[in-house]
Each structure stands twice: as C-alpha cells, then as structure tokens.
Amino acid sequence: MNEMVRNLSAEREIKLEGIGCKRKRTEDIRFVQGRGNYVDDVKLPGMLFGDFARSPFAHARIKKIDKASALAVEGVLAVITSDDLVPLNLHYMPTLAGDVQAVLAHGKVLFQNQEVAFIVAKDRYAAADGADALIVEYEELPALVDPHKSMAADAPVLREDIMDKTHGAHGPRKHPNHIFTWTAGDEAATEAAFAAADVVVKQYLAHPRVHPCPLETCCCVASMDKITGQLTLWGTFQAPHVVRTVASLIANIPEHKIRVIAPDIGGGFGNKVGVYPGYVCSVVASIVTGKPVKWVEDRMENLSTTAFARDYHITAELAATKDGKLLAMRSNVLADHGAFDACADPSKYPAGMYHICTGAYDIPTAYVSVEGVYTNKAPGGVSYRCSFRVTEAAYTIERIIEVLALKLGMDAAELRRKNFIQPTQFPYKSAFGWEYDSGDYPTAMAKAMEAVDYPKLRAEQVERVADFKAGKTRSLMGIGISFFTEIVGAGPSKNCDILGIAMFDSCEIRVHPTGSAVARLGTKSQGQGHETTYAQILATETGIPASAITIEEGDTDTAPYGLGTYGSRSTPVAGAACARAGRKIKQKAQLIASHLLEVHHDDLEWDVDGFQVKGLPEKRKSMKELAWAAYNNVPPGMEMGLEAVDYYDPPNFTFPYGAYFCVVDIDVDTGETKVRRFYALDDCGTRINPMIIEGQIHGGLTEAFAVAMGQLIDFDANGNVLGASLMDYFLPTAVETPHWETDFTEVPSPHHPIGAKGVGESPHVGGVPAFSNAINDAFSKVGGVHTHMPHTAARLWDYGRSLGLHT
Amino acid sequence: MAKSLITLTINGEVHEQRVDDRELLIHTIRERINLTGAHIGCDTGHCGACTIDLDGRSVKSCMMFAVQANGASITTIEGMAHADGTLHALQEGFRMEHGLQCGYCTPGMITRAYRLLKENPNPTEAEIRMGIAGNLCRCTGYQNIVKSIQYAAEQLRIKEAAE
C-alpha cells in the first residue's frame, strides 16, 4: 500500500471514532441542557400519586389499620393495605433470591419504615398527608438487630409466613431465622493445610451495612389502559426486561401486554436492580383507579428501605510457610440479609461470587462458608458498584494478607509479589474452580510501585514513625496497597441465571439505506455512557461512523431481551453481542460487495470502513455504498435489508484487575485523615473509550472512599435506623474527595470478541481495601492490627485511644 | 388548601401561577411550569440537584416555598444556552472534560458553577471545590467537574478579553 492510501485510510479511521477513541459523549448534549428524561419527568394526563404509610417499629404486630383517617384527607382517593392484596394473591412477591417479600406488611412489620399502606391521591402533597393521617395500631415485639443473635434459641421468630419451612431456596434451614448455609472449596484439605502450616493468621473483618445512594431515588409511573389491557411501566430499572418478566409473573398479566420503559436513570450502583413494593403498589393502584400512578421515594425512604449493601461479618484466615508462601485460605461469613432475602445474585450463588476471595494469589487450597440470616432490617443485599459480593471478597483477601505480612514481619508488597499468579499460569484455575482468563500481575504491580516510588514512601514512613515515637509529630503515615482481581460479566449460562433466565445479553442492529444505523441492547446505562461506547464498538466492527449510529436501551417493546446493567456486565456481555452483531452485518456486506465488484468474496479485504479487492485498493465499496445496495441490489437469492441480532452467552467471566496505592496522614489527636495520594492502575483488557474509563475510575474510587471512610447504615438496639438522610449518611463533597491519579496496563481477555473486560466497578472493589489498608498500615506501626470501617475521625480517635496514643 | 397567585420570571419569560402556600419552588418549576431540568435528590438541602439561580444567588429550590419567590427573576439550566442555540461555556466545558455521567446532578452543578464564575471569574481549584461543596455528584468524583469549570472559566475570560 502506498503512503497516500495509508493516509486516507488513517483519516477514515479517525472519522469512525471507533474503539480506543476518547470520543465525547453523545448523551451529554441533552444532559447539559436539562433535557434528560428521568422517571419523575414523566407526566401523563390524569396522573395520580402514591405514597407509603410506613412502620415506626422494627418489629411489631399490626392490630388494626383505620383507613378512614387517611381517606378523610382532601385529595386522597384510595388506601391499599395487605388485606386488599390478598384476594389478588399479591400480598407477597417473589424476590430475586428465591424468597418472598411482603408487598405491604402482612400481619407484622419486620423492619422500620416497612411499607404498611399505599395511599393514592390527586397530588404528591395529598398522598403524603394521607400517609401521615393513617392510624395504625401496633403491638411492639422484641427487635432482632444483631445477626450474631439471629439463630439463638431464644431469638424472636421473624418470618412467621415461612417458620415451618425446613428448606429454603438454597438448602436446609436449621432455625426459623436461618436462610441458608453455602459452602465452596475443600474443607478437609484446607483444615489439613492449616494444621501443617508454619504460620496462620485469623482476623474478624466487619463489612458494615451501607447503601448505594444514587442521586436519583427509585421511582416509577404505572399506567394500565383498561381498554387495551396494556400496562406501561416507566421506572428506574437497571434490568427492565427482568422487571417485565417479574411483573408478568406477579400480576398475572401476559408479558406481551406489558411494556417496561427505563428512561434516563440518575445513577444506580446496584440500588435499582431489585423489584420494590412501590412498583407493585403503583401497578395495582393504576389497575384499581384506571389512571396512571406515579411513585417517587424520598431520600429517607431510599436509604432505609430500597436495598442495602454488604453487612458481611467475615472471619478470614490465611496459612503460610514462614518465608511467606501462601498455603491455604479460609473464610466464614455471617451475612445479615434483613427481613426478607432479596439479595440480587445469580440463583446458584446465594453469596454471589464471594469465592473470588483467593484474589490475585496462587493459593492451592481454600474453603468458604457463608451463613445467611434474617434480622429486623430492610431487605436488599445488592452489589454496590461491584459484581456480586466481590468487594467483600477483595476486602477479605486484601486485609488478611496485610495481617499476615504484619505477623511475618514482611513487606506487604513483597508478600503479594511472592504469591502472585504468574502470567504463564493463565488460564488459571483457582482453588474455588474459577478460570481466570488473563493477566500479568507482576508487571502491573511493578509499574505501580515505580510510579509511587514505593521504597521512598516506606523510608519516609520509617522516619515519621521515629518522629512520632520521639514526640516530634502527632501524625501517622499509612501506605495502603490493594492488588485486586474481580470476576465480572455475569454470566455464562452454565453458572448464571436469574429466576431461571440465563444471563446472556443482546444487540440488534439495523443499518438504514443511507448508511446510518440504530442499535438496541438489552442493557441499560445509568451514567456509564453506553450510547457513546457501544457505537464505538459498532463503528470499528462495521465501518459506520459512531456519529451515525443511534444506541437505544431500556424499552422492552423495542430492545431485544437482556439481563440489564450491573456487575460490570454491559461491556463483557452486551459489548460482545454488539461486536458479533456488527460482524454479522459485515459478513452480509462482504457478499454484497463481492456481487457489486464482481469478484469472489474471498478476494475482498476489509479496510476501515469498506471492502476492497485484495491488491487493488481503488476497487472498493464503502459500507455506506453497501448499505444502499442492501436495499436495491443484492446478490441473487439474498434477502434485502441489512440487519443483525446477536444473543451472547459468554463462555466465561472476565477478570479485570488492578494495583492501587493510597497514602494517608492521620492526626491521632483528632482522628482526621488526609488522603495525600491515590494512584490507581487498572487493567480492564481492551480499552474502548479512555475518557469514559477514566471517569468511571474517578467515580468508583470516590464511592470506595465514601464506604471506607464514612458510610454506615446503623441501627440502635430497637432496630431504629440511624442516619438515613444525607444529614448523616456520608456522601463526599468536592472538598473531601481526594485527587485521583490513574494509569493502566492492557492485557486483553482471550475469550471476549474484542478483548474487553469491564471497568466500572474495579475502582470500588480495589479502592475500599486500599483505603482501609492505608489506615490500618498507619496504626500497625504503633501496635494496631485491624480496625473496622468506616474509618471516621471519631472512630479513629477512639481506636488511637485504645492503642494508648492519647487519653 | 390556601392558594396564592405569584409571578416568576424564569429564563426571561414571565409566569403567573396559582400555587399552594406550602408548595416548594422546585415543584412549581418542575410540575406547573414544566421545566424539569432541576432535579430533586434529597429533600434536606444537601445534594444541590435542585439548584437554580434566583435574583443573582444560587438557591436550592427545594428549600424554598414558591410564594417566597414571588416576583423573583430565575435562571434554570434551560435558560443557560445562548439565544442562538449555542451552548454556554459551562455546558461546553462539562461535555469537553467529561464532567458528567448520569446527568442527574448536572443541571444543578452547572447552575451553581454559573454563579460561582460570576462571583469569581478566575477561581483556584480549591475555590472551585469549596464553591461546589453544596452540590453532590455520585458519579464523577468531581475531578472532571473541576476541570470543566476551569475550562469554562478560561473560555469566558478569553471571550471577555475579546469584547
């Protein structure tokens, strides 16, 4: 190829804005002008509003509900209680975890702010007035708050509806408040390895209850057309197709009569995966009244009722040789699932992918056991900006390895490097059976250590500790390391389903005669920028410029079925479907090109945005020309049109990883922490849009900072939720948020069509242990071993006092 | 429910509205006047998603009754772009520097930054961070929001110098 042709080709490539381009986001045009269309922006003629009357108690029997008091309020049209739902068999709804959840409290309330009655009124003020006016008589019962006491002999029985069930969705139950016991790995071999090891460490790690808290709360608008029998449901749904199927099953409405629309979504982070009572009640209210009904939760309702994350009470153990070679790992977890088991996990895995907890290390033997229990708290158990329970897993291994380093007197980075899975070991089978797809951990770690000048940091820390001990400073320096491995892209049908539906995803593309296209997918962006990045994948695959491709998601009437967006699955699964649908388009285009150019299709080669005759680049047909021909001049016997659809069932998960370093300075007298530096190196395989990747990492790190340093949904002894408003619940502002440094390596996934692994959640998964390790590292120099998150100033001050650093 | 007749000038247009005495300004703007750019995120005045510009101040419109705004002149995100349809430097800056993701905080954030730059056309990074501390973002980690505002500040200074 001569120079001129090469230049032309490079110019065409730039115009495509394909994979690797820092393309500006197409969705921003509407967002920066206030033209987004979020659920609360939906306004329909005659629309009514719903609001909940909620329980003031964590555990109480409902003696009487006096509807008249609410119905007397001006503007209130209806009050729906559980008794009204019983004849419709809608008083309980199935959860994603195989349990049932009361749509409205049935006989008892089981957590504070539980939905007791749904008030339907002419406007949102009247609905709130009605909820306030409703008189409910309760008989308070003892609340079960501490999950460690759930299975005590004298524990109050929470779930009377299932108290006689000896088996749950995940096996036998040994107590009325027991949900499941789930294990993985080889218990006996792990026990033997621990018994024979030179060194063992064991540490209790509480991962407290937190909430994803997207800026937009959960909401919906239900509109039942009584004439056509068509239900339209707008909502904040991360997985709109699953919502349609669940709605059909719950409400017994044929699935083709339900249209679910997830318009623009104001952040999700796991909060908007589940199906909540507000959705069901809005649908019922619309059926009852014949009018559209809108329900919008307020922030307090959001933080205290729709979902929570974590609440894992972890015991972690490591066994090693005296020179630091890891031999075995074990973890026992007590999982607080609240009053109903509504965790969002693939059916087979009630503890999600917690068994990725051997992390980036070559650990020959391992065992985990997770016990799920009921308490008088809100249901949920969602993956807050991570794949299923993966932050918990990363926290376990990345904290316990630090505890081991401390015991061995070994440098924590050195201990990690000594035990890394080596590049030659991929595909690597972990002790729990996961097959890690690809990676080069030593290179990533070396690059990160060089970037932060790790030896210099440690030398500075030695000086600081000496100064501290000499009374010259009251500040401790901490260096937090996290080398994490995720498991994302759920998932292969052999492992993953939700309610029996395999966790594939899909892309359907139509190329128009003039060469532009529309593609629709089964996922749903909540800020990830899908409209921009999917178009980039398709641009590279089809030669149609990204700017000429419209991406649509979220309308079940138009988009192909898919399992939605969470757990970093969009790029690994729907992104793969995108690439493969694009390749199908290209295949057909090649046959059309062969027809137009009158050569055999094997004599054609692809060049950026069209096919050319091998060796004769001037004899070419661009995709734009081929699209036109697809509608008027196709080879004999070929169907007209240029469309493709692909349903992608991934052969494996993808395993993104990263090396994070965090440097903090802690004032022991105030407990205040200053994050001096945070460096994040991520490997997410092939990088589609570096600008968006960087943005995702900034955001995920900020959420990790929030979890590690301040977030907590706490309860008092009576089950009153403490701090369920932004007055108390920590969302970092621009002032406390640290500056982020990002970096990368790029080892593609061998099994993904374009080698991409997913990135949105890595910074959260890796960030949480990095912060916590930094804090714990600082205190380890003055006698500390482990202190639990959140590392607020008050708690660190207290911890310092327990170590005798001040009185 | 007692109602009052109020007059609001929003983005240069005069609106006469009969509102409930207890009605929050954000609801009047979003539901009666149908300008849905400003959002509701917290109900307690912490998140700033409802920020509008009212008589030359940044105001969280869920913290104010509509009747209290009677006679006020208001700019919302919908009034930010120029009359010829081109974007305001802040809108352009947020797009260029990837200062938004889900877009929910963006109208409030841009409206707040608009007043910040009026008061301080050449802010330092620390001044920007302090200046937007009343506006929460859950997606971006703020770093690119800071860059977006710096981008806009520079564009506006260049424009001013040229005029």
| pLDDT tens profile A515-570 | 999 999 999 999 999 999 999 999 999 999 999 999 999 999 999 999 999 989 99
Chain B residue with minimal CA distance to A742?
A: B143
Interface probe with B: pick from A32, A42, A44, most Cβ of B within 10 Å:
A32
- Check residue A7 and give its pLDDT: 80
Phi-psi region of A407 (alpha: psi -120 to 50; beta: other; left: phi over 0): alpha
Cβ contacts of residue A659 below 8 Å, gap of 6+? A444, A445, A447, A448, A449, A481, A482, A483, A681
CA atoms within 13 A on the CB side of A501: 16
Interface of A with B in 449-468 (CB under 8 A): none
A236 interaction partners in chain B (CB closer than 8 Å): none
Classified as helix, coil or strand, A400 is helix
| Catalytic residue selected from A101, A112, A114, A238 | A238
Locate A147 and state its tokens: 């999950």
A210 interaction partners in chain B (CB closer than 8 Å): none
What is the distance between the alpha carbons of residues B13 and A635, in angstroms, rounded to a whole number? 59
Q: State phi, psi for B67 to the nearest 5 degrees.
A: -65, -30
A554 interaction partners in chain B (CB closer than 8 Å): none
Query: Is position A386 annotated as part of the catalytic site?
Result: yes
Check if the interface score ipTM surpasses 0.90: yes
Please state which architecture CATH assigns to domain B3-79.
Roll (3.10)
Nearest CA among A389, A375, A270 for reference residue A333: A389
Classified as helix, coil or strand, A362 is coil
Domains of chain A: 3-36+505-648 (3.30.365.10), 39-141+217-265+272-304 (3.90.1170.50), 309-490+653-802 (3.30.365.10)
B102 interaction partners in chain A (CB closer than 8 Å): 214-216, 264-267, 526-527
Please state which architecture CATH assigns to domain B89-162.
Orthogonal Bundle (1.10)
H-assigned helices in A599-679: 623-629
A169: amino acid identity, one letter? A
Nearest CA among A393, A413, A373 for reference residue A157: A373
- Give the model confidence (pLDDT) of B40-62 as tens digits: 999 899 999 999 999 999 999 99
What is the distance between the alpha carbons of residues A184 and A318, in angstroms, rounded to a whole number? 16
Cβ contacts of residue A612 below 8 Å, gap of 6+? A604, A605, A618, A619, A620, A621
| DSSP type of residue B29 | I
| Catalytic residue selected from A17, A486, A531, A761 | A761
Locate A452 and state its tokens: 């932060």
Per the CB < 8 A criterion, the answer to whether B66 and B25 are in contact is yes
Number of C-beta neighbours around residue A612 at 10 A? 22
Of B94, B132, B138, which has the smallest distance from its Cβ to A28's Cβ? Answer: B94
- Check residue A657 and give its pLDDT: 98
What is the distance between the alpha carbons of residues A155 and A152, in angstroms, rounded to a whole number? 5
Of A28, A526, A733, which has the smallest distance from its Cβ to B100's Cβ? Answer: A28
Q: Is A677 on the interface with B (CB under 8 A)?
A: no
Question: pTM for this one?
Answer: 0.98
Of A24, A299, A702, which has the smallest distance from its Cβ to B141's Cβ? Answer: A702
Chain B residue with minimal CA distance to A264?
A: B102
A382: amino acid identity, one letter? V
Tally A–B CB contacts below 8 A.
178
A776: amino acid identity, one letter? N
Q: Is A306 on the interface with B (CB under 8 A)?
A: no
Chain B residue with minimal CA distance to A385?
A: B139
Interface of A with B in 507-566 (CB under 8 A): 526-529
Interface probe with A: pick from B52, B82, B102, most Cβ of A within 10 Å:
B102
Nearest CA among A473, A458, A152, A196 for reference residue A322: A196
Classified as helix, coil or strand, A367 is strand
* B27:A32 CB<8 A: no
- Check residue A2 and give its pLDDT: 62
- Check residue B163 and give its pLDDT: 86
- Give the model confidence (pLDDT) of A610-651 as tens digits: 999 999 999 999 999 999 999 999 999 999 999 999 999 999
What is the distance between the alpha carbons of residues A375 and A490, in angstroms, rounded to a whole number? 29
B139 interaction partners in chain A (CB closer than 8 Å): 267, 527, 695, 699
Kindly give the parts of chain A with pLDDT less than 50: 1
Domain locations in chain B as residue ranges:
3-79, 89-162
Nearest CA among A348, A659, A356 for reference residue A486: A356
Query: Is position A761 annotated as part of the catalytic site?
Result: yes
Query: Is position A541 annotated as part of the catalytic site?
Result: no
* B41:A215 CB<8 A: yes
